[in-house]
Amino acid sequence: MAEEIERKFLVTGDAWRGLAAPTYLCQGYLSVDPHRTVRVRLTDNEAWLTVKGLSHEATRLEFEYEIQKSDAREMLDVLCLRPLLEKRRSRIPHAGLIWEVDEFLAENAGLIVAEVELASAEQHVEIPDWAGKEVTGEARYYNSSLLKNPYSRWRESV
């Protein structure tokens, strides 16, 4: 069984910038059913198809498969729900873990979140100074939720 355990935080300030070179990601969803999401992701060098199960706090099933870039581009262009998600991802090492900081673009511009994958839900995490409020399990911060309710349309402050 493939299991993903991750915690997610809002990013505060700019101290994280410059700690790693960002990579541009474009991703789209074939399914955003809460019990199963199916995502296509494309970078300059690689492409993946990912199936995720229902989240239970910080844990969910995840299956990820590398696919041909041309297949990913066609799925993004023809099959995926709109809008596509665009972001710059920086992979930043901190205290023995890799933090992925996603700076969203387009309709989700202004939203910056950091995720860290863990070996177990009980694993101790040293949180960097630039990681603010924890939003693990808050559905509106799920990438798949940002399709239906992009950050630019949020009325309340975060």
Active site residues: 29
Q: Are 137 and 55 in contact (CB under 8 A)?
A: yes
The secondary element (H helix, E strand) that includes residue 146 is helix 145-148
Identity at 28, one-letter amino acid code: G
Alpha carbon distance 134, 131 (integer Å): 8
Token code pair at residue 20: 């790693």
Alpha carbon distance 28, 100 (integer Å): 19
